[in-house]
Amino acid sequence: MYSDKFEKSIKFVLKAEGGYVNDPNDPGGETNYGISKKVYKTVDIKNLTVEQAKAIYYKDYWEHMHCDDLAWPICLAHFDTAVNCGYSAARDCLKESNNDVNEYLSQREVYYKGRSQRLRELYFNGWMNRLKHLREYIEKEA
């Protein structure tokens, strides 16, 4: 049902997002596999399955951001940025990158550095670790 590019990409996103979390400092609030109660109000976040999360990611992120129209690995960078930073940030990174994945990820780092001081203090190291792991995953899957 899903493209090979989506399957390789969702593998990274699900691992990066992890399981159930209810961090009061996280703007997303209660999340599971990165799916937030704030956005998906009718979804039972605590009991969300991997397959349900994949279906949400495919429809609301992968398809919405036209990731299948992009080559590997820029499709993964674009998808993961939409998940982690939002649609607008992902579109900006794509626009500024000229479809170069390294430039895309550099633009994502610029986005992180522009976040509020409070969010940077809480999450910057995690964001940078995610970028590091994304680069490693892209290199491994090349």
- For the full predicted model, state whether its pTM sits above 0.75: yes
* Domain ranges, residue 63: 4-141
**List of long-range contacts for 104-107, beta carbons under 8 Å, 24+ apart:** 104/74, 104/77, 104/78, 105/77, 105/131, 105/134, 105/135
| Domain total in the chain | 1
Full DSSP string of 9-56:
HHHHHHHHH-S-EE-TTSTT-EEETTEETTT-TTS-GGG--HHHHHHH
How confident is residue 24, by pLDDT bands cut at 50, 70 and 90?
Answer: confident
Query: What are 52-106's pLDDT values in tens digits?
Result: 999 999 999 999 999 999 999 999 999 999 999 999 999 999 999 999 999 999 9
Query: What are 110-123's pLDDT values in tens digits?
Result: 999 999 998 899 88
- Residue 84's domain is classified under what CATH number? 1.20.141.10
